Structure 1
């Protein structure tokens, strides 16, 4: 079964969709099977119920039950390699 990665931003449409698509491509290039979904922050709790990782486009203001990754890194490319390596490592353990 594929791992589930949730990407969230304010509306779940523009930024999170862009980051989710980029992460899908990067994970595929690494040979990692993952379902990457973009959601609005308002839908985050429901989306995280069966998720393996959360990629936050906006800075989280609380703790989550799954590992959290920096979505801005995937948006800007700054520190992207480090965040991707962390994400790939986690998902390969699933």
Structure 2
């Protein structure tokens, strides 16, 4: 049985796919500074994360990286969940350490 959930790329020229991917990546990279500001504001206003414990910085290929140290895995996960709606799926590198 064929997987019908995957989009078909048949009939599309390879150059169009390459161009779209490159243009999409450039748009993503260009919006990172604005994302960093919005994410920092969200983290600072979260009731689940102590202010100053988690910071955000630019990652690779338009991703954002969470850094810092928290006391529980719950806080680490809440930092990620707090910014998911801003950063988007697959764009978060959660490098927060849990120290207890």
> Given the two structures, how large is their TM-score scaled by the length of structure 2?
0.30
Q: Which structure is higher in strand share?
A: 1
> Given the two structures, how large is their TM-score scaled by the length of structure 1?
0.31
Larger relative contact order (Cα-Cα within 8 Å, sequence gap ≥ 6) = 1
